[in-house]
Copies of this chain bind each other. A is one copy, B any other.
Amino acid sequence: MSDVTPRPRRSEATRAAILAAARERFAEDGYERATVRAIARQAHIDPSMVMRYFGSKEELFSQVIDVKLDIPDPDELAAEDVGTTIVGYFLDLWERDNVMVTLLRVGVTHPAGAARMREVFRTQVVPAVERFGYDPADAPRRAMLVSSQILGMALLRYVLRIGPAAEMSRADVIAWLGPTVERYITAPEP
């Protein structure tokens, strides 16, 4: 029976509630301490519902960290603003929701999280840097250098929340990191 009119599917509401609760718990506590029971309690449902909707904790997690970076293309920005634009874009990405925090927090301790981080780097960051075309053959190394600066700042600012990192204004972060990122992308071999 292929009925075009969708069933009431009132389950969609609770499914979304579970996902939202899982996102917050994974982001805040990491994989191990974000228990199925804690996620269920926050979503106001029974722990068994989590299994019913997502099969297992591992599968639920893999849906939580499904991330699309959507790094802007070089032709969408002025050539002299490469660094500052990239830094500003990533600040937005980290502040929009807690997916990146989750990815970093879990990626450091859980094998599946680490694998996902490597995959994101290989399939999204490296190709984005390649598109800039300053030195395509060396894109992996330049992508890694950019990632190291961005991830390091995000670690201090959004995960560890160390004073000076959390309090620094957005404009100052961009002003300091922009030239660094620009050099990593555009400078010839040092």
Contact = CB atoms under 8 A, between A and B. Distances in A.
* Interface class of chain A by DSSP: helix
Contact-residue size bin, chain A (C-beta under 8 Å from the other chain): 35 or more
Contacts of A140: 163-164
Contacts of A168: 141, 144
A143 interface: yes
Kindly report how many copies of this chain are found in the complex they form together.
Answer: 2
Contacts of A105: 108-109
Contacts of A145: 176
Contacts of A156: 144, 147-148, 151
- Give the interface centre of A141, A164, A183 by most chain B CB atoms within 10 Å: A164
A78 to B, nearest CB: 19
A93 interface: no
Contact of A155 (B118, B143, B155, B184): B155
Interface in A105-160: 105, 107-109, 114, 117-118, 121-122, 140-141, 143-145, 147-153, 155-156, 159-160
Interface stretch (A8-16, A25-33, A43-51, A66-74): A25-33
A86 interface: no
13 contacts: A29-B109, A32-B33, A105-B108, A108-B160, A118-B160, A121-B162, A122-B163, A141-B172, A144-B164, A149-B180, A150-B152, A151-B152, A152-B155
Given A105-B108, A141-B164, A144-B156, 6 more contacts: A32-B32, A108-B159, A109-B109, A152-B155, A155-B155, A180-B180
